[in-house]
Structure 1
Amino acid sequence: MKITVKLFASFQKGRFTIEQRDYSELTTVAEVVRGLAIPEQELGIMLVNSRHVKLDQVLAEGDTLALFPLLGGG
């Protein structure tokens, strides 16, 4: 199935900004994150089709997954 993956801020370094990728049925957000070598403790916001999700969210054909790192500031 085709999923659009969007990476933001530091997650783009050495990767990509937006890419359409093929995944098998029943793939979860966690599996995509692991496949991109993004440490789970660095994840801030995860959205599927503009809705907040957790790592165990199962993706479906045509979904758009957006991954944002934790943001620091002060």
Structure 2
Amino acid sequence: MMIEINIDLFTTLYRYYPKGSGSLKVDKGTTADDLIRKLGIPDGAVSLIFINGKRVMPDRKLEENDKVGLFPLVAGG
């Protein structure tokens, strides 16, 4: 069974955006970490994961209509 989610990728992660739009169909049971791999984002490139405005761990399972925000590591000076 497939579910549909919405994705926002920030700053340097934008290049991994799904073609066409920010929505994506994934298998039910897909975790945030599975999604990161599916998008082709390298290991360690994502430092913060938000689902529906709340920070979550990578093992959080995605649900229908979740809004996922992925943020990269940020360096400052």
> Aligned residue pairs: how many?
73
Query: Do the aligned partners of 2:17 and 2:39 also contact (CA within 8 Å) in 1?
Result: no
The residue aligned with 2:65 is 62
Q: Give TM-score scaled by structure 2 length.
A: 0.87
Measured in 2, the distance between the counterparts of 1:40 and 1:60 equals 23
Q: Give TM-score scaled by structure 1 length.
A: 0.90
1:14-33 map, 5 Å: 15-16=16-17, 19-33=22-36
Gapped regions of structure 2 (runs ≥ 5): none
Gapped regions of structure 1 (runs ≥ 5): none
Identity %: 29
The residue aligned with 2:55 is 52
Measured in 1, the distance between the counterparts of 2:17 and 2:51 equals 18
Question: Which 4+ residue blocks in structure 1 deviate beyond 3 angstroms?
Answer: none
Measured in 2, the distance between the counterparts of 1:6 and 1:30 equals 15
The residue aligned with 2:44 is 41
Matched to 1:16, the amino acid is Y
